[in-house]
Chain A
Amino acid sequence: MPRYLSLVQIDEKTAPAEGPSPELMQRMGELLEEITKAGVMLDTAGLTPSAQGTRVHWEGGKISVTDGPFTESKEVVGGYALMQCKDMAEAIEWTKRFLKVHGEEWTVSCEVREVAEG
């Protein structure tokens, strides 16, 4: 049973400034509990805004360090979920449910990637 990493990507410019509403947090909590109860969720977390992040880059044999926010990217990683599922279709179904708990004011996409084993 492969593991899948769902990288949650949000557009920080259009995301509600006040962050997730209490109702969204409530719905999200219930869904995460459901995914855990299904024996699927291994680990999940949300990240602080990219303004508090730092990008460390390696190119041409040199390190460069850039403080956030990362305004040149339309979407930045805002969280992740590591799930163990029978197949990609199952990971996608849980991901759809995760996206649906957000209200229409949110624009969110999840990149679902299989973890390479071995």
Chain B
Amino acid sequence: MTSQPTADLKTTVETVFRIESPRIIAGVARIVRDVGIAEELAQDALVAALEQWPRDGVPDNPGAWLTATAKHRAIDLVRRRERYARKLAEVGRDLETAGPYLDRPSDPDDIDDDLLRLVFTACHPVLSAEARIALTLRLLGGLTTPEIARAFLAPEATVAQRIVRAKRTLATKNVAFEVPYGPDREARLDSVLEVIYLIFNEGYAATAGDDLLRPALCEDALRLARVLAQLMPREPEVHGLVALLELQESRAVGRTGPSGEPVLLKDQDRRRWNRLLIARGFTALGRATAAASGAPGPYALQAAIAACHARAHTYEETDWPRIATLYALLAARTPSPVVELNRAVAVSMAEGPAPALEIVDRLATEPALRDYHLLPSVRGDLLLRLGRTQEARTEFERAAGLARNERERALLRARAEEAGEGEPS
């Protein structure tokens, strides 16, 4: 037992709970087969700790205390409630061994299995992407509902509703609390990876003026990805996602200038890139390659592209031919207009603006890119390099009209001005 003043004690209890809560919820969910009820029971254990620890002192192993308390309540609930009668058969095995099982420390492997079940349940495709994101951040990321709402610029009531409905959907659709092993495993894993990727991108899209919780989503996603890689060390795309996020995050400090303006990749001060995260990214990419039996997946390919940028000490050293090749592989795996546009940029750097313009012009009628400011922005760039300044100016003006934030609009207007000052073509 440890003694400490009461104010610190509340912080300790809450911190221990935040650290342990995914594992507690996961362990309890295996017993009650319902993530909503599991979360309530975990909260009950927190209340019990807040009542008992100030009186009895902090237990030597506070995490185990919380877990055991929550599991005892779970077992009581399962035994007590009629509506679990039909599920008793499923969990009978756990109940028979519950006594001794609770008195000895949990096997780390059991905890990992439970956590993985929780990940796959929170990211189940029966839920909308928004619901999966909210539930994952809440149950696994340790964010409160108000924090999630602030990070996603959504009303708190909306997010709370979303989480309640998601839990209800999982219960009413009888979603099994399990790790999928079968034909749908790949699709289910894709769903998990997508949730983490979407959380990261939400943080990545945040601008300097935003609430700090928004950019922090990048780190929340990165932590989730790192946890997942420990839980599924043999899945190449999990390592691919970790690699991609580590490498993207390594450039976070260079992406904005002193007054919060976006700084283009070519203008970034590469000395500010985080070497530790770059090294971690390379390690994860190595694991993705080692774990892959066939061709690299989309996350590993995107990570390999990010690695090309990380390897280049200066913009001029960038291996554009390799990046163009990687984009071609990515386009073959997951064809999309945005990937094609990125490939065009790489081709323009590797082979020159003319072949790149051919690719971009093929995208002109693409409905998905109709309002995407980067299409005219890239096209303007290529036309400028080909000396077609008036056309370039028109494209930059069009891009400025489509850009979503003021800083990008200002940048594109300036480029239109500059292009207009060139010789008419």
Binding site for B on A (CB under 8 A): 1, 30, 33-34, 36-40, 42-43, 82, 84, 86-87, 89-90, 92-94, 96, 100, 117-118
Residues of B within 8 A of A37 (CB): 108, 112, 227, 230-231
Q: Do B19 and A93 touch (CB < 8 A)? A: yes
Q: Do B16 and A1 touch (CB < 8 A)? A: no
With A34-B108, A100-B60, A117-B253 as contacts: A86 and B18 at CB distance below 8 Å: yes
Q: Do A30 and B227 touch (CB < 8 A)? A: no
Closest to B12 in A: A93
Closest to B140 in A: A39
Q: Do B142 and A86 touch (CB < 8 A)? A: yes
Identify which of residues 197-230 in chain B touch chain A, using a CB-to-CB cut-off of 8 Å. Answer: 216, 219-220, 222-227, 230
In whole angstroms, how far apart are the Cα atoms of A82 and B280 in the complex? Answer: 13
Residues of A within 8 A of B19 (CB): 38, 90, 93-94
- How many B residues touch A, CB cutoff 8 Å? 26
In whole angstroms, how far apart are the Cα atoms of A94 and B15 in the complex? Answer: 10
In whole angstroms, how far apart are the Cα atoms of A1 and B2 in the complex? Answer: 28
Binding site for A on B (CB under 8 A): 2, 11-12, 14-16, 18-19, 60, 108, 112, 142, 216, 219-220, 222-227, 230-231, 253, 276, 280
Residues of B within 8 A of A92 (CB): 15
Closest Cβ of chain B to A117, distance in Å, is 7
With A89-B15, A93-B15 as contacts: A1 and B227 at CB distance below 8 Å: no
Q: Do B108 and A33 touch (CB < 8 A)? A: yes
Closest Cβ of chain B to A40, distance in Å, is 8
Q: Do A39 and B108 touch (CB < 8 A)? A: no
Classify the secondary structure of B's interface with A.
helix
Closest Cβ of chain A to B272, distance in Å, is 8
Residues of B within 8 A of A87 (CB): 15
Closest Cβ of chain A to B200, distance in Å, is 13
In whole angstroms, how far apart are the Cα atoms of A39 and B196 in the complex? Answer: 14
Closest Cβ of chain B to A84, distance in Å, is 7
Given contacts A37-B230, A86-B142, A93-B12, 12 further A-B contacts (CB under 8 A): A36-B230, A37-B227, A39-B223, A39-B225, A82-B276, A86-B18, A89-B12, A90-B15, A93-B16, A96-B2, A100-B60, A117-B253
Instruction: Tell me which of A30, A42, A94, A100 contacts B108 (CB under 8 A).
Output: A30
Residues of A within 8 A of B223 (CB): 1, 39-40, 84
Name 23 interchain pairs, CB-CB below 8 A, sorted by A.
A1-B216, A1-B219, A1-B220, A1-B223, A30-B108, A37-B108, A37-B230, A37-B231, A38-B19, A39-B223, A39-B230, A42-B276, A84-B223, A86-B18, A86-B142, A87-B15, A89-B11, A89-B12, A93-B12, A93-B16, A94-B19, A100-B60, A118-B253
In whole angstroms, how far apart are the Cα atoms of A39 and B225 in the complex? Answer: 8
Q: Do A84 and B219 touch (CB < 8 A)? A: yes
